């Protein structure tokens, strides 16, 4: 029970999350289409509104967390992260977990992945259902370098049911907003209810209702993960078969050329 229904076609509410220096404010400016957020860290959440292609946007920029451990993040910052969901009521459609990447950077370390996971969890275990891992390219990157970064964050992506997005420049804003709309549609229009309100709802529910809802949600997540793993295996099998077939075709072409060359050696020379 994450939730309430709300159309994301006309209105999107987004919270940006990430470590100190992740580039959340710059990203927010690109999403909103103009310089509206200052880039310095002030230790407080900031909310701005704008519009993109006729769609109203509410973007909440959060203070950055410690990249290594949630234990090193000041309590005030943690409380601001928790508060972020209440700044775009009735709740955000999407949490964008911002991971900056570069050709010259190594993939996120195990500690960085764990720190990100713990900080997102401050918004409750329900937060992952509304989270997209957003890789923001700091420079020009080739496909193999991006793939390496994506693989390095696989544990986070798995928590997000496989959702991630590669953001390279302003031209990707429309596709990103569509990705958010698609996720909201998969969630049946649900948004993340801030934990403080969710706990109030729980108190008013009949005994056993919360446990039953959580059981159904857990089963739903398990089925989604099974389906995703099956799709990934089918895609891998298809790629392997494609490579094998491509190799056989190349071998056949090479063999045919060799056979033609060999047979031509037995032909009489051209007479003039």
Paired with 167 in beta bridges are: 136
The 10 Å CB-count burial string (b at 16+, else e) for 142-157 is: eeebbeebbebbeebb
How far apart are the C-alpha atoms of 205 and 48, rounded to whole Å?
34
Would you state the pLDDT for residue 267? 56
- How confident is the prediction for the chain on average, in pLDDT? 85
pLDDT category of residue 250 using cuts at 50, 70 and 90: confident
Using the predicted structure, report yes or no on whether residue 1 has a pLDDT greater than 50. Answer: no
CA distances from 40 to 33, 34, 62, 86 (A): 19, 16, 12, 22
3-state secondary structure of 61: strand
Q: What is the pLDDT of residues 200-230, one digit of tens each?
A: 766 676 766 666 666 766 666 666 566 667 7
Q: Out of 24-38, 87-101, 222-236, which region has the weakest mean confidence (pLDDT)?
A: 222-236
d(CA 32, CA 119): 25
What's the rounded Cα separation, in Å, for the pair 124 and 127?
6
Helices (H) and strands (E) in the chain, counts: 8, 6
Rounded CA-CA distance 149/110 in Å is 13
Residue 92 has pLDDT above 50, yes or no: yes
Q: What is the pLDDT of residues 94-129, one digit of tens each?
A: 999 999 999 989 999 999 999 999 999 999 999 999
- Sign of the Cα torsion 50, 55, 60, 61 reads negative
**Nearest-CA neighbor of 128 among 99, 162, 153?**
162
Count of alpha carbons within 13 angstroms of residue 132, beta-carbon side:
25
- What is residue 2's predicted lDDT score, i.e. its pLDDT? 45
pLDDT band at 188 (very low <50, low <70, confident <90, very high): confident
Which one has a higher pLDDT value, 83 or 206? Answer: 83
Mean pLDDT of all residues in 44-69: 94
Residue 165 has a pLDDT of 98
What CATH class has 11-204?
alpha beta
CA distance to 104, 105, 145, 146, 268, per residue, from 140 (Å): 10, 12, 10, 10, 58
Assess contact for 106 and 68: CB atoms under 8 A.
no
**Four-point Cα dihedral 29, 30, 35, 36, nearest 10:** -30
pLDDT higher than 60, residue 262 = no
Query: What is the residue whose two structure tokens read 């099956």?
Result: 230
How many whole angstroms separate alpha carbon 247 and alpha carbon 95?
43
Three-state SS for 175-220 is HHHHHHHHHHHHCCCECCCCHHHHHHHHHHCCCCHHHHHHHHHHHH
pLDDT of residue 253: 75
Provide the percentage of residues in the chain whose pLDDT is more than 70. 78
State yes or no: pLDDT of 155 exceeds 80.
yes
DSSP label at residue 169: S
- Select the more confidently predicted residue: 36 or 156: 156
What percent of the chain shows pLDDT beyond 90?
A: 60
């Amino acid at each position: 029970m994450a939730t309430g229904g709300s159309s994301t076609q006309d209105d999107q509410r987004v919270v940006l999350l990430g470590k100190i220096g992740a580039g959340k404010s710059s990203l927010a400016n690109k999403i909103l289409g103009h310089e509206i957020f200052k880039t310095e860290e002030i230790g407080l959440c900031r909310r701005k509104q704008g519009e993109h292609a006729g769609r109203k946007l509410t973007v909440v920029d959060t203070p950055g967390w410690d990249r290594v451990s949630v234990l090193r993040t000041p309590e005030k910052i943690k409380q601001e992260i928790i508060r972020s969901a209440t700044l775009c009521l009735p709740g955000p459609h999407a949490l964008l977990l911002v991971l900056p990447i570069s050709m010259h950077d190594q993939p996120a370390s195990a500690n960085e992945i764990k720190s990100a996971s713990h900080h997102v969890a401050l918004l409750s275990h329900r937060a992952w259902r509304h989270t997209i891992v957003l890789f923001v390219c700091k420079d020009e990157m080739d496909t193999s370098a991006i793939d390496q970064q994506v693989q390095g964050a696989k544990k986070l992506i798995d928590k997000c049911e496989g959702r991630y997005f590669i953001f390279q420049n302003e031209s990707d804003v429309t596709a990103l907003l569509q990705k958010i709309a698609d996720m909201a549609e998969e969630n049946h229009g649900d948004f993340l209810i801030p934990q403080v309100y969710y706990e109030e709802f729980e108190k008013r529910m009949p005994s056993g209702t919360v446990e039953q809802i959580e059981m159904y949600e857990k089963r739903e997540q398990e089925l989604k993960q099974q389906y995703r793993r099956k799709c990934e295996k089918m895609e891998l099998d298809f790629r392997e078969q494609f490579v094998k077939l491509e190799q056989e075709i190349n071998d056949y072409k090479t063999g045919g050329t060799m056979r033609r060359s060999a047979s031509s050696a037995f032909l009489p020379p051209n007479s003039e």
